[in-house]
Amino acid sequence: MDHSLLGQAVVYLAAAMIIVPLASRLGLGSVLGYLLGGVVIGPHLLNLVGQADDVMHFAELGVVMMLFLVGLELEPSRLWRLRGPIFGLGGLQLLGTGAVLLPIGLLLGLPWQQALAMGLILAMSSTAIALQTLSEKGLMGSDAGQKSFSVLLFQDVAVIPMLALFPLLATLPGSAGDGHGDSFLDQIGALEHTLLVLAAIAVVISAGRFLVRPMMRAVARTGLRELFTAAALFIVLGVTLLMTAVGLSPALGTFLAGVVLANSEYHHELESDVEPFKGLLLGLFFLAVGASIDFPAVAAQPVLVASLVLGVSLIKALVLLGLGLAFRARRDQAVLFAVALCQVGEFAFVLLSFARGSGVLAPEVATVGVAVTALSMALSPVSFVLVERLVLPRLLGPASAPREADAIDEHNEVIVAGYGRFGQVAARFLSANGHAATLLDVDSDQIDVVARFGGKVFFGDASRLDLLSAAGAGHAKILAVAVDDPVKVKEIVHLARVHFPHLAILARARGRGEAYELVEHEVEGVYRETFDSALRAGVDALRLLGTPAAMAWRAARIFARHDEESIQVLAEHRGDQARLVHGSRERTLMLEAALRADRGIEPGEPEQAWDSEGLRRLARGDGD
């Protein structure tokens, strides 16, 4: 087999392309798809890849990027808001599950260090599977959904100290390639090393604070998209390099960098630039994990593996159930919460390979761990369906299915794309009425000006799908497209209609022509940017000419209604100049008639009719 870089790349990509779609079609999810793909190309089936370890080393960058993104998502303010459930519920879940699993590990003959590490690793749940399942069932807003989210968030954060502390549990010689045992670091003392580590962390934090902004701004001014990607990768790889050099976990460093940048206006940009690389490299990571499963070792002890899978899932579920009830969930919600998180998650793969590499877990133990994790993930959708069909109906009675609810407020309900003259007014009005909006703009100078007044606008081009979804389009209710470039407006509207059909779209139109086009997209609202102020000037002109204000106002409303209607009606002729002209003449005549009627200029003035004699005659039925 061709073991060149190119050959390997083709094998891995092919495995991903063939097996992952199959797995998602079967409802197994992409993580399991990658794992299966790895198994297929691995040494025990097709044997198409050489040393999976080399690939693993490269693919670990995917994990590093994942933690960068986790850090980016962790706005300190949000963490603070959810601190109760995150640290209370999440902390108890992790420690509680670990505490129950530890003695089991000891019983199975593991030394305490390995039993502890294994217990904590297996306590991790799968964010990918749990969130996917919950949001597919519309349960994210439910109590179970909220609790699951908090626990997963805690686990995300807990990975960091675990990565930092695992080396302390090491009892075995680690495998090569983790930056440990570096000759330079061996030469310096413990104190110097600590200082060096602290200095590196300080560098990451202050660079995130003071260097990244000017750098991104300079990049933004060039207007070159690919430079953004380069800058994002530069940040991640730079931090990785620095951390490796001082013997710290790169994942820890990038996580930190992510947190520092979470509040920056380039948050969404960075997120959408790193996301695809993370996806791909993480996929590669799972492939490599799959390929490195030691099947003979697993096959040699089928009873052990099977009972571990069932036992671990059951123990996790029971701990979760107890915690759910203790945190005052209804019984059905506690059951959902338990089954949603009872599988072992993808973080376990990361931690297992790290623990193995740093000499905490013996390779044969880690292999069993990988097998248990993979199998429990595979079982997860099945157990969810079983619980949903068999257990919940008993708890709820036949009729009441789990209630649809609002999504979690991790993003705002309104996204305003374009924070210029138009978007500002709309967003300020909303915020004055208690609805914060997620604001996006592509003008970094403008963003700086707003920031000086204490506002926060994210830098980003809303005509990019990844950016829209990073801004929360999947959960938001309304997208206000307030960009001034009509071409961009159309692009964004089109994109949102196709990919987020649930969004109500309010679109800015430069003039009539643009309005016609937007009407065809069936957006909820089209607003010609100057129409309302022009009409108000018209009203004041009428008043200065002597028309009573109330009459001028009504005339303006009639005019506006009529004009908006005519845009709806004429939109279909928009290509056909002749019909357009004819149609709008017709509409003008109708408008004039409508205005005349409202002013009471038509025959039969209403006031006169109130003359008692007139009414009496009408009542008698003899008219005039």
Partner 1 sequence: MTPPPRRRLHHPPRDARGAVLVLLAHPDLRRSRANRRMAQALADIDGVTVHNLYEAWPDLDIDVPREQALLSNHQALVWRHPLYWYSTPAILKQWQDLVLELGWAYGPGGEALRGKPFLQGITTGGGEAAYQVDGFHQLTIGQLLAPITRMAGLCGMQALEPFVLYGTHRLDEPSLDRAALAWRTRILALRDSLTG
Ligand X SMILES: Cc1cc2nc3c(=O)[nH]c(=O)nc-3n(C[C@H](O)[C@H](O)[C@H](O)COP(=O)(O)O)c2cc1C
Give the binding site for ligand X (CB under 6 A).
606-607, 610
Nearer to ligand X, 522 or 607 (CB): 607
- Interface segment toward partner 1; rule CB under 8 A; list 298-306, 324-332, 454-462, 600-608: 600-608
DSSP state of 328: T
Nearer to ligand X, 607 or 622 (CB): 607
Residue 616: which of ligand X, partner 1, none does it interact with, CB under 5 to 8 A by kind? partner 1
Q: Please state whether 510 falls in left (phi above 0), alpha (psi between -120 and 50) or beta.
A: alpha
Under the binding rule (CB under 8 A), the answer on residue 241 touching partner 1 is no
Nearer to partner 1, 453 or 610 (CB): 610
Query: Which of 264, 286, 279 shows the shortest CA–CA distance to 466?
Result: 279
At its nearest, how many Å lie between partner 1 and the CB of residue 478?
24
d(CA 43, CA 46): 6
At its nearest, how many Å lie between partner 1 and the CB of residue 435?
21
Nearer to ligand X, 84 or 600 (CB): 600
Q: Which residue of 76, 177, 276, 600 would you call a contact of partner 1, by CB under 8 A? A: 600
Structure tokens at 469: 């979804």
Nearer to ligand X, 27 or 600 (CB): 600
At its nearest, how many Å lie between ligand X and the CB of residue 603?
15
| Residue that is written with structure tokens 């294994």 in the block | 118
Under the binding rule (CB under 8 A), the answer on residue 611 touching partner 1 is yes
| Residue that is written with structure tokens 């499963």 in the block | 293
Q: Which residue of 10, 14, 314, 615 would you call a contact of partner 1, by CB under 8 A? A: 615
Angle (CA) 550 553 557, round 5° = 140
At its nearest, how many Å lie between ligand X and the CB of residue 617?
15
Nearer to ligand X, 606 or 623 (CB): 606
Residue 615: which of partner 1, ligand X, none does it interact with, CB under 5 to 8 A by kind? partner 1
Contacts of partner 1 in 339-398 (CB under 8 A): none
Nearer to ligand X, 183 or 608 (CB): 608
At its nearest, how many Å lie between partner 1 and the CB of residue 607?
6
Nearer to ligand X, 276 or 614 (CB): 614
User: Three-state secondary structure along 489-551?
Assistant: HHHHHHHHHHHCCCCEEEEEECCHHHHHHHHHCCCCEEEECCHHHHHHHHHHHHHHCCCCHHH
Nearer to ligand X, 80 or 610 (CB): 610
Contacts of partner 1 in 507-566 (CB under 8 A): 540, 543-544, 546-554
Query: Which of 544, 551, 554, 591 shows the shortest CA–CA distance to 569?
Result: 591
Nearer to ligand X, 605 or 624 (CB): 605
At its nearest, how many Å lie between ligand X and the CB of residue 562?
23
CA distances from 494 to 416, 443, 501, 523 (A): 16, 22, 10, 10
Instruction: Specify whether the CB–CB gap between 35 and 15 falls below 8 A.
Output: no
Residue 431: which of partner 1, ligand X, none does it interact with, CB under 5 to 8 A by kind? none
Residue 77: which of partner 1, ligand X, none does it interact with, CB under 5 to 8 A by kind? none
At its nearest, how many Å lie between partner 1 and the CB of residue 584?
28
Q: Which residues of 43-56 are buried (b: 16+ CB within 10 A; e: fewer)?
A: beeeebbbebeebb
Do β-strands 478-481 and 504-509 pair in parallel, antiparallel, or remain unpaired? parallel
Under the binding rule (CB under 8 A), the answer on residue 404 touching partner 1 is no
Nearer to ligand X, 81 or 616 (CB): 616
At its nearest, how many Å lie between ligand X and the CB of residue 599?
12
Torsion of CA 123, 126, 127, 133, to 10 degrees: -130
Under the binding rule (CB under 8 A), the answer on residue 477 touching partner 1 is no
Instruction: Specify whether the CB–CB gap between 118 and 101 falls below 8 A.
Output: yes
Under the binding rule (CB under 8 A), the answer on residue 612 touching partner 1 is yes
Q: Which residue of 522, 607, 622, 624 would you call a contact of partner 1, by CB under 8 A? A: 607
**Cβ neighbours of residue 410 under 8 Å, at least 6 residues apart?**
78, 149, 472, 475
Write out the H or E segment, with its range, that includes residue 414.
Answer: strand 414-417
CA distances from 343 to 380, 469, 477 (A): 6, 27, 32
Sign of CA dihedral 168, 170, 171, 176: negative
At its nearest, how many Å lie between partner 1 and the CB of residue 480?
24
User: Three-state secondary structure along 107-139?
Assistant: HCCCCHHHHHHHHHHHHCCCHHHHHHHHHHCCC
At its nearest, how many Å lie between ligand X and the CB of residue 552?
18
Residues that bind partner 1 in the complex, under the rule CB under 8 A: 540, 543-544, 546-554, 599-600, 607-613, 615-616, 619
